[in-house]
Amino acid sequence: MLLTELRDIAARLALEAGALAAAGRRDQPIVAGTKSTGTDMVTQFDRAAEEHIVGRLRELRPHDAIVGEEGSSTIGTSGVGWLIDPIDGTTNFLYDLPGWAVSIAAVDHHGTAAGAVHVPSSGELFTAVRGEGAFLTTDRGTTRLRCSEQADLATALVATGFGYAPERRTRQAVRLTRLIGTIRDIRRFGAASVDLCHVAAGRVDGYFEEGLGPWDLAAGELIAREAGCRSGDFRGGAARPEEILVAAPALFDALATAILSADAADS
């Protein structure tokens, strides 16, 4: 099996689901409900986009495992699994703000093998295959992605996100009040997968967050690593949904230390 074939499937289905959700958002009233907290939203288009992706995967790759943010869960036998976030940045989607995305990753025994993140509002498609670099495709063509060369913490532009639970987001915001004075500025775009692609494209120098779902980060983290970014948790371990920092390699250690120091000020 070629990993590029998995990348092509991820890309195609991300484009299809993005078009479906964007058309739904434009033409129909939104029906929204809540999930983990009163601000963790889901719409009928999150579910329809996931259903579409899962249906197509079952046709194209009937023996693969599938896990989706909106509850899809299929056990596979092929050794390949898919992690799907049908609409990452549902709050942006709900408010008709740009920057929501469809994120699809294929995972094998060695980790994330291929991934695609599609941002319908900008028409951008970010993709990567393990070991083969990361790319951005728009209507102007395809270009290779490269992380920034930022090394200086004081002039680093850093993206982050917040959890949905009020206690967690309050803690995260308090930490930011300390961190923000040690860096250039903070950006909160509203979709983790897109934050990761922004680091890959050198549009921000780093991104960190805690408490993500595996579907939020799988594709974007591979895209960032394949663009030359360093990825990990805050203490030298591997990146995981509970704790992820992705940054320009020369910035990573200083940013990790700054995040931990901003936390330590709490104790």
Q: Which residues bind ligand IPD (CB under 6 A)?
A: 69, 85, 88-90, 161-163, 190-192, 209, 212, 216
- Rounded CA separation 202/106 (Å): 24
Give me the least distance between CB of 186 and ligand IPD, in Å please: 13
Q: Are 91 and 98 in contact (CB under 8 A)?
A: no
* Smallest separation, CB 4 to ligand IPD (Å): 27
Q: For residues 35 and 184, which CB has a smaller minimum distance to ligand IPD in the complex?
A: 35
Rounded CA gap, 91 and 87, in Å?
Answer: 9
**Cβ closest to ligand IPD, residue 90 vs residue 129:** 90
Q: Classify burial at 167, counting beta carbons within 10 Å of its beta carbon; exposed 0-12, middle 13-18, buried 19 or more.
A: exposed
DSSP one-letter code for 80: -
> Which C-beta is closer to ligand IPD: that of 3 or that of 195?
195
Reading the block at residue 33, the tokens are 């409900």
Comparing every residue's Cβ against ligand IPD, the nearest one is 161
Residue 231 Cβ vs ligand IPD, minimum distance, rounded to whole Å: 16
Which of 69/243 has CB closer to ligand IPD? 69
Closest distance to ligand IPD from the beta carbon of 143 (Å):
24
Nearest to 18 by CA among 114, 99, 110: 99
CB of 100 to ligand IPD, least distance (A): 7
Q: Side-chain half-sphere of 181: how many Cα atoms within 13 Å? A: 6
Taking the least distance from each CB to ligand IPD, the nearer of 105 and 129 is 105
Q: Residue 84's beta-bridge partner residues?
A: 68, 104
Which lies closer to ligand IPD via its Cβ, residue 90 or residue 148?
90
Q: What's the closest the beta carbon of residue 128 comes to ligand IPD, in angstroms?
A: 18
With tokens 């249906």, the residue in question is 55
Question: Which residues contact residue 66 at a Cβ distance below 8 angstroms, ignoring those fewer than 6 apart?
Answer: 54, 57, 58, 72, 73, 74, 76, 81, 82, 84
- In this structure, the strands spanning 185-187 and 141-144 are unpaired
Q: Could you tell me the smallest distance in angstroms from the CB atom of residue 161 to ligand IPD?
A: 2
Specify the residue, 33 or 79, whose C-beta has the smaller distance to ligand IPD.
Answer: 33
